[in-house]
Each structure stands twice: as C-alpha cells, then as structure tokens.
Amino acid sequence: MRRKTVTWSIVALILLVVIGAAVTWFVPVFRVGSIEITGATRTDPTEVEEVSGIAEGSNLLRMDATAAATSIAALPWVESVTVNRRLPSTVQIDLVEREAAVFVRRGDGDHVIDTSGRAIIIGTPPPGSIEVRGAREDDPDVLPAVTAVLAAIDAQDPQLRTLIADIQAPDQFDISLHLTDGREIYWGSSDNNHDKAVALATVVKREGGSWNISSPSMVTVR
C-alpha cells in the first residue's frame, strides 16, 4: 500500500510540473518588461529594438532569441550579438561592434572600412579612421592589406597611428604612409608587417623626408 501511495505521489508531482510548464509556456506569466542593450556605441538602440522583433508585454519564454540575434547581426556596425532572457521580465542584448580603421572616398560618398578590410557604411568616417588614396574599387585585396598594416602598427605602438595623415595604396604591394609632418614612408607590400612596424617606430624619430622600409633589414632614406 505504501509503495502504491509513493508511486501515485510521484505521478501527481510530475503532472503538476508538466501542467505548470505548459501554463507558463502558453500563458504569458513572464512578460517582457524591459529590453537592456549594451555595446551600442554607433548603433542606434531604438533600431536594435525594432529589428529584434521583441515587443514589450510579449511572452518572455516564447521569445525567439535566435531570430532576434540574426536580425540584429544584420545591422551595419554589429560584429556579433547575444540575446538572453533574464527572469522575470528582462531581455538582455549585448553587442560587439565593428571597429572602423580606414575610409575611401568614392563617387557615392565615403566608404568606411573595418579592421578586416570589409565595408561598414557609406557615411561620415569616425574620428581616428585614416583615408586610403588610390585604391581601385575592383581590387578586393588592397584594403585588407592596408588594414593588416595598420594592425601591425597598432600592435607595435598605437601612438604611431596618430602620425599618419593618409595612406597611398594603388595595390596591395605598393603601400605608402604619408605622415602629418609631410614625410613619406614607403611600406611596400603587407608582408613582414611586424618588422616593418618596428622599423617605422625607429625612423619616425629620425630626420629625413622620405624613408623606404619595404625591406626592414635594409632601411633607406632620401
């Protein structure tokens, strides 16, 4: 008799759990009361909310977090995004934004390029981004090469970037840095970037209007 009583108690408990879960799933006990967004520096938080498709007052548990994240990730500045529920009523959206590195002036406006050489937007370049001159629109390799050069320079000394007025890059093998004081540093290709960045850190401290560091073991000056 005791065994039957225990068995029926377990069955009843399981039924209660199942019923409770079903009610919670289909009846909005947990409603979306607020949407909290972090990491939106250049992305409009209002736009993030709109494209997410998450409405305040909707069932928090039935929210499609994957679909919301996919829609948000399509926004220009968004590199990655996570969407999470925080019971009882909060949706947490965390963004990682792309970082602008350079820009190129085209007929339809300034094309802002991220640190991997991919276009972000056509619009006003953010402070700190450097103009690239001479890059052909039909050359997919030149901008990734330029951003790889800048990444090496930043790794060596981020202050070196502030000395660069613009970059001339007709192709990936012919890159020159024009400094704010009028000097020119011929970089060459984007090969051996680390050693060239080390050479750059040295030559900017020396006199000379035109330096060639394309072969960092044999730097020349004119």
Residue pLDDT, tens place only, 108-144 = 999 999 999 999 999 999 999 999 999 999 999 999 9
Class of residue 158 by CB neighbours under 10 A (exposed 0-12, middle 13-18, buried 19+): exposed
- Cis ω on the peptide bond leading into residue 216 (within 30° of 0)? no
CA-based nearest residue to 76, from 94, 55, 53, 99: 99
Residue 148 is predicted with a pLDDT of 97
Q: Which of 16-20, 128-132, 157-161 is least confident? A: 16-20
Average pLDDT on 81-98 reads: 95
| Residue 191 neighbours by CB under 8 Å, 6+ apart | none
pLDDT, tens digit (0-9, with 9 covering 90-100), for 165-214: 999 999 999 999 999 999 999 999 999 999 999 999 999 999 999 999 99
Per-residue pLDDT band for 22 (boundaries 50, 70, 90) equals: very low
Is the pLDDT at 2 greater than 60? The verdict is no
Residue 18 is predicted with a pLDDT of 47
Residue 5 is predicted with a pLDDT of 57
Inter-residue contact 70 to 15 (CB < 8 Å) = no
Q: How many CB atoms lie within 10 A of CB 2?
A: 6
Class of residue 51 by CB neighbours under 10 A (exposed 0-12, middle 13-18, buried 19+): middle
Class of residue 157 by CB neighbours under 10 A (exposed 0-12, middle 13-18, buried 19+): middle
Instruction: Count Cα atoms within 13 angstroms, Cβ side, for 117.
Output: 17
Q: How many CB atoms lie within 10 A of CB 130?
A: 21
Residue 173 is predicted with a pLDDT of 96
Residue 206 is predicted with a pLDDT of 93
Q: Which carries the bigger pLDDT value, residue 13 or residue 215? A: 215
d(CA 165, CA 6): 80
